[in-house]
Amino acid sequence: MKHSNGEAIDFRSEADLKEQVFKILNFYYPACIDHEKGGYINGFLDDGSINDTTTKHLVATNRYIYIFSIGAILGGPDWCLESARHGIHFLNEHHLDHENNGYFFELNGNEVENDSKMAYGHAFTLLASAIAYEAGIEEAKDVVDNVYDVLETHFWDQEHALYKDEWDAEWTSLSSYRGQNPNMHLCEAMLTAYEATDDQKYLDRAYTLADSVTQKLAGRSGGMVWENYTPDWQPDYEFNKNNTKAEFRPYGFVPGHQLEWSKLLMWLDRHRSEDWMLETSEDLFRKGWELGHDSEHGGILFALSPQKEVIDDDKNYWVMAEAISAASLLAAKTDNSFYWNIYDQLCQYSSEHLMDHEHGGWYKLLNRVNEPYSDVKTSPPKTDYHPVAAYYQSILAFS
C-alpha cells in the first residue's frame, strides 16, 4: 500500500486516512464546481476530464455536499466549506419543489428531468444537510428540518415502521414498490442528524429502522437482508429478477449491504448500546464476508441469488468501502484480530485495484479478475462518497 510518492499508506493512521480523504476531494475540486448552472459536475473520466456537464442528480448533489463537509470537519482548506455551501444553495434553488415540497430526483442543467420524489434521494438530502450543519453551515439546518418533515408526512409507514419508496411530484400516486436500500441510508442519515443536532428523535428513528430491517425483514429471508419487497413488506423474489445492475433496486442478496448494515449497527451502538446490535452486526458481517469474499482474486463479489449462489461476480467500489468501514468499527469495538485482518486485507485490495494513486479517486467497477470496465471514473451519482465516509468512520472508530 503506497502513497503516490512511494511511501507506504498506514490505513490505521488518522493522518494517512485524512490524506486519503483529501486525495479524493482534490480529484473533484475545483473541476466539479459548476459556476454556470450552479451545483456540481457529475461526470468524470479516470484522468479527471469531464464527460457530463448537464446531469444534476439529487443523490450526487447531496453526496458532494457530504464529502466537502467532511473535508471541512477534518480541518481542510476554506474551499471545502465553500463548496458544501454551494451545494446547499443549489439544493434549495433547483432540487427543491417550491410548489409541492420535496426534492426532484434528477435535473438536466436547471430543468427538471425526473420529478419523482424518492425516499432514497430524500435520505441523502437529510444526510448531506445534517453533516453540512455539523460542519458549520447554519442554513443547512432549515433543510434538515424540512426534509425530515417531508419524510414524516409522505414516506413514513407507521404500520410497518419503515419508509415507503416513491411518489410522483404532486404526492398523488404512490409506487407499490418497497425497498430496504432507502431505509438503510435513512438509518445512516438519522444517525448523522442525531450527531449534528443532538435531537433524540433522530436516534430513536435510526434505532427503529435498524430493528425493522435487521430483525424483522431479515427474519423473513433467512437472516440476511433481501433488497426488494411487496407493499406489505414481504420479500419480492421476482422484482427486477436477475437485474443486479439496477442502481437503487438491485436484485439479490447484496453482500455489501449486509456489511453496510453491520456498520450501521456498530454506529448505533456508539449512542445506544444493546446486546443484539453487536450480535447482529457480527452475524451480518460474517455472512456478507463468507458468502461474498473472492478468495481467488480478492475483494467482495456483488450479488447472490435467493439460494445464496453468486449471480454477479463484479467488484463494485462502494462494496469495498462499506466493508472497510464495517471492519474498522467491529475491530475497534471487539479488538478481534478477525476484523483487523479483514480491514487490512480490504485496504490492501482497494489500494492495489480501486484507488487511483496517480489522479485520485476510486475506480467504479471491476470484473472478477479486477479489470475496470471503462475509463469513466464517476457517473451520477458516485462522487466517491462511500470511501470518504469509510475513511471518516474509521478515523472516528480508531480515535
What is the secondary structure of 190-202 as a DSSP string? HHHHHHHH--HHH
DSSP SS3 for 97: coil
**What pLDDT shows up at residue 97?**
99
DSSP SS3 for 126: helix
DSSP state of 332: H
Q: Which of 86, 94, 154, 257 is catalytic?
A: 257
In a domain, 6, yes or no: no
In a domain, 8, yes or no: no
Residue type, 70: I
In a domain, 301, yes or no: yes
In a domain, 309, yes or no: yes
Cis bond before residue 30 (omega within 30° of 0):
yes
Q: Domain range for residue 160?
A: 14-398
Give the count of beta carbons closer than 10 Å to the beta carbon of residue 375. Answer: 11
Q: Which of 86, 95, 122, 386 is catalytic?
A: 386
Longest Cα pair distance anywhere in the chain, in angstroms? 57
Helix 275-292 and helix 317-334, axial crossing angle in degrees, nearest 10: 140
**What pLDDT shows up at residue 3?**
59
In a domain, 3, yes or no: no
Cell numbers linked to 9: 499508506
In a domain, 4, yes or no: no
In a domain, 55, yes or no: yes
In a domain, 223, yes or no: yes
233 sits in the region (left: phi over 0; alpha: psi -120 to 50; else beta) called left
CATH number, domain containing residue 287:
1.50.10.10
Residue type, 108: N
Residue type, 158: Q
122 is annotated as an active-site residue: no
pLDDT tens for each residue of the chain, 399 residues long: 555 555 689 999 999 999 999 999 999 999 999 999 999 999 999 999 999 999 999 999 999 999 999 999 999 999 999 999 999 999 999 999 999 999 999 999 999 999 999 999 999 999 999 999 999 999 999 999 999 999 999 999 999 999 999 999 999 999 999 999 999 999 999 999 999 999 999 999 999 999 999 999 999 999 999 999 999 999 999 999 999 999 999 999 999 999 999 999 999 999 999 999 999 999 999 999 999 999 999 999 999 999 999 999 999 999 999 999 999 999 999 999 999 999 999 999 999 999 999 999 999 999 999 999 999 999 999 999 999 999 999 999 999
257 is annotated as an active-site residue: yes
Domain count along the chain = 1
Q: Where are the alpha helices (DSSP H) in the chain?
A: 14-28, 58-73, 78-90, 119-135, 140-150, 180-197, 200-211, 218-219, 255-271, 275-292, 317-334, 337-353, 385-398
Say how far apart CA 265 and CA 102 lie, in whole Å.
28
User: Which position has the grid cell 464495517?
Assistant: 326
